Amino acid sequence: MRSIHYTRDALVEVLRRHDINPTHQRIEIAYALFSRGEHLSADQVLAIVNDRHSQTSKATVYNTLNLFLRKKLIREVIVDPSKVFYDPNTIPHHHFYNVDTGELVDIDAAEITISGLPQLPEGIVTEGVDVIVRVRSKAE
């Protein structure tokens, strides 16, 4: 998906640029997301972070993910009714979502074009456009 090697030092810089005080826990959580470049649920982040090094509480994981969201360091992907996925890729893109396997794959936004969207009423601003292509492993 992405093979950039994120050192923790590099992530400290990224956090600072996003106006986030780089604490131990925040660095570990960022590392979990960015070193893999995968879509992870809060649950998965918690498990990964507590596998190595320091213990991090559930509350901190949720607080931190929401902080990262607010600071636009990561995005949230809402495809599964039961949990949110967090996406370290903030380049505009969309998703394939395999309903059977839960697999979530990026689609570069540059590749696709959406035309004919209705005009927005006055005072309403677009925040973002999400395209989700729900797929399944053939058969039925």
- Contact residues toward its own copies (CB under 8 A) are 76, 78-81, 84, 96, 98-99, 107, 111-118, 120, 123-138
Select from its own copies, DNA, none the partner in contact with residue 58, using the beta carbon and a kind-dependent cut-off of 5 to 8 Å: DNA
Residues that bind DNA in the complex, under the rule CB under 7 A: 21, 23-26, 41-43, 54-60, 62-64, 66, 81-84
Q: How far is CA 81 from the centre of its chain?
A: 16
> Would you call 36 exposed, middle or buried from its count of C-beta atoms within 10 A (0-12, 13-18, 19+)?
middle
DSSP 18: T
Whether 99 contacts 133, CB under 8 Å: no
> What's the token pair of residue 77?
């992907």
Tell the smallest beta-carbon distance from residue 102 to DNA (Å): 12
What is the nearest approach in angstroms of its own copies to the Cβ of residue 117? 6
For its own copies, which is the closer residue by CB, 5 or 81?
81
